[in-house]
A and B are shown apart, each in its own frame.
Chain A
Amino acid sequence: MIREVAKPQVRNVLRSRWLLCYVAFFVLATEGLLRFTGEDARTLLSLANVVLFVVPLMTIVYGTIYLYNSREFVELLLAQPLKRRTVFAGLYLGLAVPLTAAFVAGVSIPFLLHGIDPEVRTAFATMLAGGSALTLVFTGIAFCVALRFEDRLTGLGAALAVWLVLALVYDGTLLFIVAMFSDHALEKSLLAASFANPIDLVRVALLLQFDISALMGYTGAVFSRFFSGSAGLAAISAALAFWVGAPLAVGLMAFNRKDL
């Protein structure tokens, strides 16, 4: 039944103007960078920074608003002979699938049109996977936020705050701490710190592909020294899977208790 619940929503989201803008944004950004740099590797590197910034923002904001707007629809679904967890899973997939598809389509179209340099194929695939993972993570976080706050303005504020912390404040604070305690060996703590932030995790995964750690934040530099190759990617994948699962578990608990 999850499929039957998700399907009409996928259709609904795919027809939304916001999603079209989202695809268009990535098409234009990728195409622009390809033309501007004239080189696939540098395009990917710049694009990675855009992805790490925009995907979480769009997903958490759109996801929060989406759930608030679906209140009556959720009520209609829950009046059907469906389990709450079925409805929850259907709602999640109904949003996460089209958002992921939009991101993948947006960055892939220009590369496919231009033809992609074989040397950066792995990096390109990593970026698609990383962006998709962030979509899955932040859709779950968006659901948690929307279920936690009854008032939609408060909820939207909280969603933006979460994004701000994970996208900017977190790395800034780490850098500050590192500068403060520059005579201590903080590498292991920093390593742990990057596992606590999904955006950092994806940043590191991309970094390992480009091998230019200094350009992408201090945590990245530490990480690439610790991990190289498949062991690092496996650790990151496992951590990201946790980051997808944890908000979903919390969200489902809230959804089970929720009075509509």
Chain B
Amino acid sequence: MIEIRGLRKRYGSLDVLQGIDAEITTGHVTGIVGPNAAGKTTLIKSILGLTRSDEGSIKVDSVRVNGDETYRRKIGYMPQIARFPSNLTGAELLAMLRELRPDVKDIDDELVRTFGLGLELTKKLNDLSGGTKQKINAVAAFLFRPSLLILDEPTAGLDPRSARILKDKILDERRSGRTFIITSHVMSELEELADNVIFISEGRVRFSGSIDQIKRLTRQVNLERAVAELMDQEVAA
């Protein structure tokens, strides 16, 4: 369970988060949606401690995020952009991540097989395509069987087959009780994966609830139309 209370963050004159209150329930997939520049990535990075908030609090399983790094043991993170040290191989990168958590023996590298990454891992990261790097990014996120996975636009840049493999993996892991936070611009994808949605606009939470609820509220047939409807209401207001 993640509890976010009154979270505020300014970048200079830009008020990115203007008091976010949200709860992310354990064992569910929560999609974070909203227009561009709504603060989705900033919210995710605040949970990870990559961004320091100005006000408010974040609690991950009742432990307050305040600069202590141990809570990140249970988090796997897949950032939006995959850029790694260019002269290393994928295998060396994954080896480094494993050395950073020597206590974790139970490694999940199923995605290496399902993505067919074997040979690609022996090549320099610089020589790999964006999609392949994104796959390595995904492998890294799942590697330590974290109880919370934070995925920022996970299927961006993946071909349909690889996207399906990743989505199947997410659904598999959700069944074994893991919590997911996913941002995506592809609403059909979130409809397939997510239980709950948090809709953010201009740094505030405008809706938080299940996918059924958002559809009923907006009287729309699917998530994409429901979110679009909410955005329309924002513009009108």
Contacts and interface: CB of A to CB of B under 8 A. Distances in A.
Contacts of A13: 87
A114 interface: no
Given A75-B50, A76-B140, A81 B70 contact: yes
A81 B70 CA distance: 5
A121 interface: no
B101 A80 contact: yes
Q: Pick from B67, B70, B73, B99 the residue with the most CB of A within 10 Å.
A: B99
Nearest to B103: A81
Contact of B88 (A8, A71, A82): A8
A9 to B, nearest CB: 6
Contacts of A82: 69, 72, 100
A70 B45 CA distance: 17
Q: Pick from A7, A71, A76 the residue with the most CB of B within 10 Å.
A: A76
B49 interface: yes
Contacts of A9: 85
Interface string A58-87: 000000000001111101101111111000
Interface in A174-227: none
Tier of interface size on chain A:
20 to 34
B50 A78 contact: yes
Given A8-B93, A12-B86, A12-B87, A260 B51 contact: yes
Contacts of A73: 83-85
Nearest to B16: A259
Contacts of B52: 257, 259
Contacts of B67: 84
A30 B75 CA distance: 51
A7 B73 CA distance: 21
B22 to A, nearest CB: 20
A1 interface: yes
A31 B92 CA distance: 36
Nearest to B76: A79
Interface in A205-260: 257, 259-260
Given A79-B75, A257-B52, A72 B83 contact: yes
B172 to A, nearest CB: 22
Contact of A259 (B51, B83, B92, B99): B51
B87 A80 contact: no
B77 interface: yes
Interface of B: 11, 45, 48-52, 67, 69-73, 75, 77, 79, 81-88, 92-93, 95-97, 99-101, 140
Given A12-B86, A71-B83, A73-B84, 6 more contacts: A5-B96, A13-B87, A73-B85, A75-B50, A76-B79, A82-B72
